[in-house]
Structure 1
């Protein structure tokens, strides 16, 4: 029997859209981390991102989730800027 990757609870439209935003942010972060040239740094950042998203996966407060999304976007922007500077 296959297990579903869908959550057991039914989401409202707002929750569903927010979940999609979080998953997209996670994918973008992992895709950006793949561009880090040093293997040890890449592994550290990948583990850090995974742990942060895992730690907050059961968050339900909408305001807290919005704040975490904003913080994650800022981290992603900083990482992209650092990579751009390293390539220059």
Structure 2
């Protein structure tokens, strides 16, 4: 009985399935997050690398619950511009 109650609770808290557009956007967000994390591999100082990764994680977590598709597209565009700026800045540092 306890197991059945637990399964019912898990099923009740399961989020609804994503629409196709949400699925595509989720993939874009994950890809952008990974690009940022790969970019931090170029940072030689371990403390600076850790701080940058914490900042990136915090920034992505801040908008984790965003559901508005237009807002997500705006955030992705901002992230892309910022990534390009960071990438060009890192090449000049190395």
Task: Give the superposition deviation at 1:8.
Answer: 2.6
Structure 1 residues 16-53: Cα deviation after superposition (integer angstroms, max 9, x where no partner) = 00000000000110010111122222111100110111
Q: Show structure 1 runs of 4+ deviating over 3 A.
A: none
The answer as to 2:73 corresponding to 1:66 is yes
Matched, 1:50 2:53: no
User: Could you list the per-position Cα deviations for residues 46-85 of structure 1 after superposition, in whole angstroms to 9, with x for gaps in the alignment?
Assistant: 0011011111010011111111111111121111101111
Q: What is the alpha-carbon root mean square deviation over aligned residues?
A: 1.3
Larger gyration radius, structure 1 or structure 2 = 2
Structure 2 gaps, min length 5: 1-13
Distance 1:35 1:8 in 2: 37
> How does 1:1-88 map onto structure 2 within 5 Å?
8-87=15-94
Counterpart Cα distance in 2 of 1:84 and 1:56: 28
- Using the size of structure 2 for normalisation, the TM-score is 0.79
Aligned length: 81
